[in-house]
Structure 1
């Protein structure tokens, strides 16, 4: 159904105007039923006046049904719990969503909640742990809205805010931000008056910025905004104390769907430089398997050394393209990697830091090569400073990386350590 503009009020003589404000207007269809168009949320409602006071707020509460601007359909696992999630947030201002990687948390949940009446036209803000993840999430959300747009409705804008860059504008309804940006926003608007829902995505990664942001948002909800909704999304609750931190929160769980991934270990301890191990593993993956290859490396230095080695080997092979992915790349270079691969084009070998572990989905990847190393901040009591230290990857992070190969179809994971070394890895970060 197409929205009725205000000029149509005078053209339809049999309908009389019930009331009209800057954001909404209502037409009486009969003595009992009225038609409401809410311009702030771009939602149509048909209401039964025999059960309502003649006020706009009462009409909204007693709506019989809605014609929504977006229809979100998905075959991802998260689709089975969307109704439960919406119901939980309708009756509770705090909610925890547990869903494994690949369930569709990041790209589906904000869209599904955008039409909820308790938002009252306010925005949704979603926190991502990394800049690349924020930009990729905003892009995928915008694509999802474009696909689900119903005839006659204007498209809603999705924007992102990261350090030094923003695409947010006046009509933006969903903002994807990095964790530090929320703290800055709270310093200028402690009540978050423009927002109706704050989503903390990938909270299982735990950082000081995410913890501080959640604490400040809970304080805002307690002191200034009792109607503010808070949704914490995590791949697991096993290592988190969220139920203790938010004891009144409703908990919704979604089962994941993972395609089988074959794990391959080295037969003996490696005695060659990392770039040589990666070169041999990439050659095996290109020869024995199809699809793109994603290589996890600890940092930019290792990526550049591996890039030089691989470019020498595949320089004369037009069917193989070597790309890199890390936080300091330009937006154009990041988009080149995150853009879905096209069948028939060159196979991609993507050298990435841990930014591709979660939140970011790279379509076309069927083989993951894991160097088994990560670079993490460690406090040095001697210098009084925090330094980046290269450490063995934890078991849960290794599983996250392995899962990148099984998002859309079966795949393979080549681990550059032995099966015996696997037992000595730390359980969690």
Structure 2
């Protein structure tokens, strides 16, 4: 038996190209073509898999549309009005601005579907508000913003859930519903850490907003607060598909920002479209590379091999989910979340199905794990985003984000142990799983 099989050579090639700085999507395409060449297969199959995968999956269109919607919200005054509303509701308590950070992420999560968009949009404003006059340490504000941004793709809409649906054939609508309770559970765990820290570190109390001002603040923020209703109402009423709802969300964000609030200049609009295109292109290339490489994995029969190996271990469904959690938390320290979702998860899905694990429950567990990877050193992308925004060292942010990470791991354990926390809402609306 030779070690230098076509598959092993392809893996080495992908790893080497990625380490040399080639984008991982390009590296996977190059490695897959090399595999086809060494295995004596038609190299044109790579193009066939790529084109069939991208052009036959209508749902992929939702990804750039959700990204565009988030960008359009950030250039207008929608996020600013949202923060005023959140401050009026919870800002009066000790550590109020920190609680505002959590609440605004829960609301913004129902609009963008992207953790990075959350951190770069409302998160940037929260960083300024929390550090003004030395109210909070810059590293604490950055850590909290990174932690709260994790909620974004768990509460619907969610770009990672769209990608999970792509590789698992699970219902996007039910996946979105299943993320609501886990997302709120994550938010509660973060608020608990904030409240404990507020007492220990004597965080400041913000001047309370007079109750008589609350109706006016709510009214001015009302069009922004209605965006999740428009988005999710269209999906769950059956009026729109998730992709069509994403297009409506982008149009609604532009209409409110430019038409109602009149806070968008053409230069800002152009920049947001350009940034959305860049982000979408990078994700698109990663999806393309994953589609081609997944064909290689299928030819090599890797999913069935792993399924047989795990079956031989005689794992229970819970034991398998614990193993998946440990594996994904470890991989989250090293790999980008979309790579894990498109490459690793398709290998695990056959085993999950064989053990009778619900694909919606499994999808939420996967997405939560991947989101935690965004704040897990050394690769946590949100840590680096907040380092640039806050201008503080990564090690300081890691120190302050650790309590939030531990609290969210506890929440992950709860949704793993108790599937009904995830499946209750989908079943309430007709899910048969």
Structure whose residues are more often strand by fraction: 1
The structure with the largest alpha-carbon Rg is 1
Tell me the TM-score normalized by structure 1. Answer: 0.28
Pick 1 or 2: higher relative contact order, CA cutoff 8 A, min separation 6: 2
Q: What TM-score, normalized by structure 2, do the two folds share?
A: 0.27
- Higher helix proportion, which one? 2
